[in-house]
Structure 1
Amino acid sequence: MGGTVKESNQVSGYLVWFLIHGVQTGIGMLNFQEKIAHGAEQDAWVSLLFVGACMHLLIWMLFRLMRMAEGGDIFSLHRQLFGPIVGNGLSGILFFYCVLICTGQIRPYGEIIHVWVFPDAPLWQISIILLAVAGYIVSGGFRVVAGICLLCVVIPSLVLPSLYFPLKIAHWLNFLPLWNHELGDYAKSAVQSVYIYLGPEFLLFYYPFIKNNTKAQRWAHLAVAHTTLLYMTILVTTLSYFNIRQLKHTLWPTLILSKIIRFAFLERFDYIYIFNWLLIIFPICCMSIWAAVRILTQTLKISRKWALGTTTLVIIGMVLSLRTPVSIERMEHVISLVGGAFTFGYLPLLFLVALGRQATKRRRSARSS
């Protein structure tokens, strides 16, 4: 597909807002509070804001990288910097990253369905249903994936007003004392916050599919700001409702908050939360599968049909191999480490290499002239 994409396959620049925000808000929104509270405790919101600010720097770097790529995507950039063999090999490694991201959404959601709603439902049935729907969406192309990201950001947002109910009984003294932790505690919470901010790196794959992509950067920054505001709202609500001791031993705090909501015509409001989260995980599932399929078609030169089937089978195998809650927790830890290393390690290194190569070309052209 190279660096030129037909205009009929491209989407408007403002959809970058939904493409990034939709991928950042996944299953981690249900339990991120418990994880980041083990570091800075009631001051964890400081670490959350810090990582959100770092993501804006990452957005700037990603757009600079794509402008330096001759083909406008990560595949052409790898080949441009490291040659066809090493470049395709590096791009192929990203396939497992995409598969891991999708598995990190489907398996925890299957566990929630099993624990909260259908305790007798086999995991393989839930996984196949989710992957069948996601695969059908991906088969429609990138424009369909972008449409799902738009739809699945707008509809779940209607649940946010439900945070009003726990805020009515908030204990604001839970935030005291302020800023009484060491730098290492803030760093620990920041590391745990990286997991929920993963997603902007998929821009490396769909950048050529954006119309006027050089002008879409402001929408990407707006998406990260939207994500930061959303997570801050949920975190502040959670910290004002639970004390730190309770929060450190609470699994899925966001779902627990929904259990206090009662209506005369609706007893289990948490069921709405759970099934609403199906719409929240679909954007990241579809995007990661689409990116994995694109990696296979670009590196191995196989058809999209075979690439989609291969990706789906690999994800099913990984999901079914995670049988216990402990294995799920380990997987989330691995995703956090791999995602953090890729986002804040490999991409900055790639940026420096690209800058160095660009500077070398400029010096050579200046000497020749």
Structure 2
Amino acid sequence: MNQAGVNEKYKVSPFYVLFLVHSMQTGLGVLNFQRDLAKATGTDGWISILLAGLIVHVLIWVIYKIFSIVPGDLIYANNHAWGKWIGNFFSLLFILYFFALGMTIIIGYINVVHVWMFDEVPSWAFALVFLILIYYIITGGFRTITGIAFLTVIFSYWLLIVPLYGFKYADFTGTLPIFDHTLLEIMKGTRSTSLSMLGFEMILMFYPFIKNAKKSQKYAHGGALATTLLILLIYFVSTVFYSQEQLVLTLWPTLSLTSVIEFPFIQRFEYITVSWWAIVIILNMVIPLWAASRGVKRLFNVQQKYPLWVMSIIILLVNIFFFDVDSLFILNKMINPYWVCFLVIYLPLLLILISIKKWRKRL
């Protein structure tokens, strides 16, 4: 047992961290990040993607450095750095963020299904199906979550046919000019890709569930690198497939790209993409709600299923009474850019405080 109270039999091998990080990052943002990125940086969007990837790698290093000093999870690290009351306050902020992220992904994907497939089916019906599935997976334990993360990554990479097919209609002059934007514009573009890069911070909660957790750092970096390369590929295909004007006006560029794929036996390939994306995105829904309910369990010493019930009911009620594009916009604004900025500032600050406490003990 460690500080977070995790028995060895519930832990997973370090290798699976690659799939946990990569599957969490590859979700809703991949479908439409190009639009905001094109508005901010145009043909220099690839620079913003590389910069965002670099920031993620630095923050992953910070997380592992924190846990090399205070092995445990986010709750334990916060209490160690700030004391019980202030530490619990910051832990509650993270729990609210995890919950808001999970709800945003659920509502966002339901919006995609409404736009592309079933506009007359009420959102609460989709939400109910997802929440039942999410509850079943989470109550199966973290090893079940990890197994599904592994399978979703393995079974989803056939979707690379979508960007590769786009090369058939490529106009490579669309990538020009390069280095044509200011540093401020590049930074704005980096902020635009943040929803596609978020997810690595779940390590803060599932770190105690990893065997020989220190050895998993290279796999966490590997998962983040795979996401960066995938986003680079999708953005490159989008810039050679669309003009910059089209890219700015297209709401779901990745999905719109699938509409040009034609087979003799399939007329609407985007239906397959949207449907299969449910398999890809389910972990984006599961892991944040697992992290949020796990955080409540750690803070208030209750069974994890009870906060999970409450969160599920709230999400269902939101889908019944408040579901619209405006509510999705508000949730996105809560997470991006404000929470991204908070992560970039808070995690290094937490490391500094913990390092200072360690240094004082040595004196």
Shorter-chain TM-score tier? over 0.9
Paired residue type of 2:15: Y
Following TM superposition, by how much is the alpha carbon of 1:322 offset from its aligned partner in structure 2, in angstroms? 4.2
The aligned counterpart of 1:367 is none
State the 1:5 CA deviation.
2.0
Deviation string, structure 1 residues 319-366 (Cα, Å, up to 9, x no partner):
445433233223212211233123201111111111111111122xxx
Distance in 2 between residues matched to 1:60 and 1:109, nearest whole Å: 31
Specify the alignment match of 2:167 in structure 1: 167
Q: Which moved more, 1:252-261 or 1:49-58?
A: 49-58
> What is the percentage of aligned positions where both structures have the same residue?
31
2:197 maps to amino acid: Y
Deviation at 1:279, TM superposition (A): 1.1
Change in Cα spacing, 1:64 to 1:319, as seen in structure 2 (3 Å) is farther
Query: What's the counterpart of residue 31 of structure 2?
Result: 30
Runs of 4+ in 1 over 6 A off after TM superposition: none
Distance (whole Å) between structure 1 residues aligned to residue 12 and residue 151 of structure 2:
15
Deviation at 1:224, TM superposition (A): 0.8
Give the aligned residue type for 2:187. Answer: A
Residue 295 of structure 2 is matched in structure 1 by 295
Provide the C-alpha distance between the structure 2 equivalents of 1:138 and 1:28, rounded to a whole number of angstroms. 23
Query: Quick check: 1:24–1:196 contact (8 Å CA) kept in 2?
Result: yes
Unaligned 5+ runs, structure 1: 364-369
Q: What is the identity, as a one-letter code, of the residue corresponding to 1:260?
A: V
8 Å CA contact retained: 2:26, 2:280? yes
Contact 2:80 2:354 in 1 (8 A): no
Asked if the contact 1:106–1:319 (Cα under 8 Å) also holds between the matched residues in 2, the reply is: no
How many Å apart are 1:316 and its aligned residue? 2.5
Show CA shifts across 1:55-85 (max 9, x none): 1111111101112225x11111112122222
> How many residue pairs were aligned?
362
Mark the CA change 1:50 to 1:299 in structure 2 (over 3 Å): closer, same or farther. Answer: same
Partners of 1:100 and 1:126 lie apart in 2 by 18
In 2, the alpha carbon distance for the partners of 1:301 and 1:195 equals: 31
Counterpart residue number, 1:129: 129
| TM-score computed with the length of structure 1 as normaliser | 0.95
Q: Contact 1:107/1:322 (CA < 8 Å) preserved in 2?
A: no
CA distance in 1, matches of 2:88, 2:145: 25
1:185-334 aligned within 5 A: 185-320=185-320, 322-334=322-334
Structure 1 CA distance, aligned partners of 2:321 and 2:214?
A: 42
- In the alignment, residue 195 of structure 2 is paired with which amino acid? Y
Gaps of 5+ in 2: none
**224-233 or 4-13, larger mean C-alpha shift:** 4-13
* Aligned equivalent of 1:119: 119
2:55 alignment counterpart: 54
Deviation at residue 166 of structure 1 after TM alignment: 1.1
1:103·1:319 contact (CA, 8 Å) conserved in 2? no
Deviations 1:282-339 (A, max 9, x none): 1121111111111111111111221221121233334445433233223212211233
